[in-house]
Amino acid sequence: MINVLERIVELREERHWTEYQLAEKSGLTQSTISSWYRKNMLPTIPSLTKICDAFGISISQFFLEDHHQAVLLNERELSLLKASSKLDPRQYDALLHFLETI
């Protein structure tokens, strides 16, 4: 089982971020983040969502047991994925065919 607080530290350290930088990027206060560790509390789902957004990962990627297998998307890839999710199956297949031919 994933230790949520350890996972946050791991992701933060991978990026060489301080708690302050994580707070800035997530929109949470540094005191909120540090209180999780002082009080050994878990973040709420909305707070964890902000943390994941700051790291550029989904909640499901956060909880992967073998998180080194996770695929991290850059902003352009994420934008393409979000746009393609709005297509109906026929449009999606057409887009996929187009991308495969270029």
Reported as a single tens digit per residue, the pLDDT across 53-98 is 999 888 888 988 765 665 667 788 888 888 888 888 899 899 999 9
CA distance 28 to 10: 18
Domain that includes residue 35, residue range: 1-67
Domain co-membership, 41 together with 4: yes
- This model's pTM is above 0.85: no
In this structure, are residues 67 and 61 in contact, taking their beta carbons and an 8 Å threshold? yes
Distance from CA of residue 40 to its chain's centroid?
Answer: 22
Residues 2-52 have pLDDT tens digits of 899 999 999 999 999 999 999 999 999 999 999 999 999 999 999 999 999
CA distance 68 to 42: 22
Domain co-membership, 80 together with 46: no
Domain co-membership, 63 together with 76: no
Domain co-membership, 93 together with 62: no
| pLDDT value at residue 69 | 62
Domain co-membership, 10 together with 50: yes
Return the amino acid letter for 36. W
Domain co-membership, 62 together with 89: no
Unique residue bearing structure tokens 């929109």: 27
Domain co-membership, 53 together with 11: yes
| pLDDT value at residue 55 | 92
CA distance 7 to 14: 10
| pLDDT value at residue 10 | 93
Unique residue bearing structure tokens 């800035």: 24
| pLDDT value at residue 64 | 85
User: Considering the chain, what is the average pLDDT of its residues?
Assistant: 89
Structural domains of the chain, count: 2
Q: Give the 3-state secondary structure of residue 5.
A: helix
| pLDDT value at residue 68 | 60
